[in-house]
Amino acid sequence: MEEKLNQLKSRLAEVIDLFRVANLLSWDQQTCMPPGGAKERGEQLGTIRRLAHIKLTSDEIGKILDELKPMVAGLDPDSDAARLVKVTNREYEKRTKVPPKLVSELAELAAVAHQAWEQARAENNFPKFQPYLEKVVDLRRRYAACFEPYEHVYDPLLAEYEPGMKTAEVQQIFADLRPQQVALIKEITNRPQVDDSALHQHFDPQKQWDFGLEVITKFGYDWQRGRQDKAAHPFTSNFGIGDVRITTRILPDYVASALFSTMHEAGHGMYEQGIDPSLGRTLLGETFSHALHESQSRMWENLVGRSKPFWQHFYPRLQEYFPTQLGNVPLETFYKGINKVEPSLIRVEADEATYNLHIMLRLELEIALVSGELEVKDLPEAWNSRMHDYLGITPPDNASGVLQDVHWAHGYIGYFSTYALGNLISTQLWERINADIPDLEGQIRQGKFDQLLDWGRQKVHQHGCKFDAQELVKQITGSQIDAAPYMRYLTSKYSEIYGL
Amino acid sequence: MEEKLNQLKSRLAEVIDLFRVANLLSWDQQTCMPPGGAKERGEQLGTIRRLAHIKLTSDEIGKILDELKPMVAGLDPDSDAARLVKVTNREYEKRTKVPPKLVSELAELAAVAHQAWEQARAENNFPKFQPYLEKVVDLRRRYAACFEPYEHVYDPLLAEYEPGMKTAEVQQIFADLRPQQVALIKEITNRPQVDDSALHQHFDPQKQWDFGLEVITKFGYDWQRGRQDKAAHPFTSNFGIGDVRITTRILPDYVASALFSTMHEAGHGMYEQGIDPSLGRTLLGETFSHALHESQSRMWENLVGRSKPFWQHFYPRLQEYFPTQLGNVPLETFYKGINKVEPSLIRVEADEATYNLHIMLRLELEIALVSGELEVKDLPEAWNSRMHDYLGITPPDNASGVLQDVHWAHGYIGYFSTYALGNLISTQLWERINADIPDLEGQIRQGKFDQLLDWGRQKVHQHGCKFDAQELVKQITGSQIDAAPYMRYLTSKYSEIYGL
């Protein structure tokens, strides 16, 4: 069995290398690449993803898996060997259903669609992006068709980002969450609004950058195995467990944007830096569950970064960076300001109370597009009308509406709901962490994060993708993904801030 | 035939994509990658180069080439189709002789050797690099052995960087050049030395960077298809004809370093930006001749950038950037300063008169290492003694001696002589250019470079690697590579500066 496992691993090593190389091509495209490189970059990404696909779906891997399956049947099902065979087999079966040509068409389209989206957003010109998005939807439908029969046409797309999760499951969780969240927002908006004008001043971008670095260095983000760059849409990418990079975006007139995006991406980054190196160059070293990923970024961004103990430690330091802007602003005002709840246009700037509604809107639109109930040309109108229904506001233009996110340009249909699931998981884990580290609040108040990071390393990070989101959440908390802790957290937090 | 050619091209497109991807992995390694990424980056480069090798040496390509060879026999031998088959066949035959395992061993070694070299240079610790260099020499010997029988064990290594060139040919050119160059240096050192102290002051790095950008923007370096970053050892790399990037290194206390390295790399960059896009994604869009490449960088760096007409235009502008340092320094003093001849330790900082001696030293040492006449452990001593013999100086440490260049860490044995050949070619072409554009000097004096760049585009750049160095030089100048124009150029220039 050892020999067969090694045969599998040596083949997977090549596949993982190709995955990592595709990550670098894409990272570079978003941080460094001059515009003239777009066409060839698309071709290169197409070639690399096609080769990875061909290699991962090769008959040799299929044969080795067939030989290994009975061999690992007697092992502990949670052992690395058993999980490696299980996860590899799932990915193998998933990918053998998709023709390589479709994979490379998607990759090549993503490169040119990204450029078109950037232009369309800059010019507030949806029709410029429309033909690309139509192609994306078409290719994603053809992708889903490879998995017929399915319970729901959206299931195969969701499974790309959240293995083991079904559309119906997410719809159920959201159906449970939505009325509670809407009711809370209503309660909040009936209370006097907090004043966050102190956050909206000019803050030197370099100082914003420096303060962000100081914070995430204290978190434990490892600079020997990472770096930070600027990108239009912040993201984290890895080129190995030894090289996990983050990006941020700085707004000169709003201090909260770069700050929380930096903490958010550092959360993603520390997750991937924490994977057990022994899982490297196998599929177990991947992080297929986007909800688990997001639970880590949201934990550092919100449960740590928007908490009062955190700012009891860091606010005096931030005031040193910006004495003119914040020297006379009390901590309490700042704390309320960064936790202001207000229905707004841009998902990535949304507060914790309204965020999930942005996600529900996208999930519903994606399902409508893929199932053919909505045409791309009608998308801006559908977007705007739903924004009005859910959040009570209508985007003044498509740049701050339907064109705000990069995901669809990259072909990522099925992705968004994992953001909301990540929010829910983060608070489920947070309740457990506080039970395991009773002094956590005191530690955060002192700017100490080593026990917290270590908890994440042990319970979540090291496992890579050995366990699906539902499995791992159950393992750690004893319960499935559940909206109740998130609502408890929001209610408690905003009761204090808004005096509910 | 058209169909067969298209079959060939579609297979080559994949190979070229892999070449470009390897370039990006390597560029990132030298400009962005955190140290923790080294091991996995080496594995990734190994995988990508091995896949490129396997694909370029596939039986399918061999079969298509065998079918195409008789078909193109009737065509103009300089047509794209005939040249494509010829060049592809040469690369195919060259590479089928090398086992894929050896190719990936070299790539993986290069990644870790690069890190070891960086450390060894920083710590002035040759023994730290020695075991890696021993492995490099061993692997390069095994590489050469794949080509037995050969005229010279060094021929297969040279051919990697200069297709069609033989060791004996280079030795002959150098034998012709060396006594003339030594005599000239002797004559110069007998004259009073020029004063370049004005160049050795503190020059703000950002301003150095900005002035460099201003210059190469006027040259015609295309920023839509390029960018500049910092690197320990400046280089140019391309990820497609639409994305050709350069790097530079800035010394805060010496203004000439970044300035001329920026012009030099821009010369490389404009060469690759000028390749006919119709040759893209085929082997004809490559630039296999390093001597031709170097002729372009040297032309912009030296024949343009160190000329008096150039500084008649740009010196007032440089004085505006650095009024304190250069405001009172006359043009004549500055011009003589940047053309100061002085035997020195570092190749990349060497002047035009001594540069080629640095190359001859390396060529001789490489030949001795590969043929087994010299052991790696004895290399520092051999280096130092030859530095003394050729240039009359002995490096005070290995960091400024044998450890100064990155090439050997990357496995590039066979590369150096192309630098000297490039110098020779640049002046051969320059005599032709001045015949074709009689007003060139006047144009340069006005900061106009469009006709010059256009000449390069038409005569050199657009052809990619359709022609070998000797062929193209003959085609343009009517003569083989020849030391005479270079000696005429040096003699005329230094006669004026040193009053010979």
Q: Say whether residue A206 is in contact with chain B using an 8 A CB cutoff.
A: no
Residue of A7, A1, A92, A107 lying closest to A49 (CA atoms): A107
Q: Do A40 and B226 touch (CB under 8 A)?
A: no
pLDDT (tens digit per residue) in A253-267: 999 999 999 999 999
Length of chain B: 500
The pLDDT value recorded for residue B348 is: 83
C-alpha distances (whole Å) from B326 to each of B218, B254, B256, B319 are 22, 12, 13, 5
Please give the pLDDT value at position A295.
Answer: 98
Instruction: Please report the number of interchain residue pairs, chain A to chain B, with beta-carbon separation below 8 angstroms.
Output: 120
Q: Do B243 and A40 touch (CB under 8 A)?
A: yes
Query: pLDDT tier at A104 (50, 70, 90 boundaries)?
Result: confident
Query: In this model, does residue A143 exceed pLDDT 90?
Result: yes
Say yes or no: B10 contacts chain A, CB-CB below 8 A: no
A265 catalytic residue (yes or no): yes
Q: Cβ distance B366 to B386 under 8 Å?
A: no
Tens of pLDDT, residues A439-456: 999 999 999 999 999 999
Helices B100-123, B38-56: inter-axial angle, 10-degree rounding: 150
What residues in B contact A13, CB-CB < 8 Å? 43, 47
Count of beta carbons in the 10 Å neighbourhood of residue B275: 24
Distance (Å, rounded) from C-alpha B500 to C-alpha B497? 8
pLDDT tops 90 at residue A225: yes
Distance in angstroms (rounded) separating the CA atoms of residues B238 and A330? 53
Q: Is the dihedral of CA A390, A392, A398, A403 positive or negative?
A: negative
- Calpha distance B295→A171 (Å, rounded): 65
User: Shortest CB distance from A24 goes to which of B18, B28, B39?
Assistant: B28
Looking at residue B1, what is its pLDDT?
87
User: Where does A343-480 have alpha helices with state H?
Assistant: 355-370, 379-391, 417-436, 440-445, 450-459, 469-477
CB atoms within 10 A of CB A343: 17
Q: Is the dihedral of CA B360, B361, B364, B369 positive or negative?
A: negative
Confirm if B18 and B51 have CB atoms less than 8 A apart: yes
Of A51-55, A458-462, B184-188, B390-394, where does the model show the most confidence?
Answer: A458-462
- Contact call for residues B297 and B260 (beta carbons, < 8 A): no
Q: Which residues of A touch B107 (CB under 8 A)?
A: none
Q: What is the pLDDT of residue A101?
A: 87
The residues of chain B scoring below 50 in pLDDT are none
Residue A108 has pLDDT above 90, yes or no: no
Q: Indicate whether A47 pLDDT > 90.
A: yes
Do the beta carbons of residue B433 and residue B455 sit within 8 Å? yes
- Stated as kind and residue range, the H or E segment containing A493 is helix A484-498
Q: How many C-beta atoms surround the C-beta of residue A446 within 10 A? A: 11
- Largest Cα–Cα distance of chain B, in whole Å? 69
| Percent of residues, chain A, with pLDDT higher than 70 | 100
Query: What's the rounded Cα separation, in Å, for the pair B114 and B15?
Result: 25
For A146-289, where are the alpha helices, taking DSSP H only?
A: 155-161, 167-189, 205-219, 255-273
Largest CA distance in chain A: 69
Query: Is A431 part of the contact surface with chain B (CB cutoff 8 Å)?
Result: no
> How far is it, in rounded angstroms, from Cα A179 to Cα A390?
11
Instruction: Give me the sign of the Cα torsion angle A337, A340, A343, A348.
Output: positive
Among B11, B40, B245, B275, the residue to mutate for chain A (most A Cβ within 10 A):
B40
Report pLDDT for B103. Answer: 82
* Residue (of A398, A419, A183) closest to A296 by Cα position: A419
Q: How far, in Å, are A195, B18, B37, B183, B215 from residue B237 at the CA level?
A: 51, 14, 20, 37, 20
What is the structure's pLDDT at B116?
A: 95
Cα(A83)–Cα(B17) distance, integer angstroms: 34
ipTM: 0.89
Q: Is B374 helix (H, G, I), strand (E, B) or coil?
A: coil
What region, left, alpha or beta, does residue B222 occupy, with left being phi > 0 and alpha being psi -120 to 50 degrees?
A: beta
In the block, which residue shows the tokens 């009570």? A392
The answer to whether the beta carbons of residues B415 and B158 sit under 8 Å apart is no
Token pair belonging to B93: 């035959």
HSE-CB at B4 with a 13 A cutoff on CA atoms is 18
Q: How far is CA B412 from CA A376, B94, B182, B346, B485, in A?
A: 53, 17, 27, 18, 29
> Å from B25 to nearest chain A CA?
8
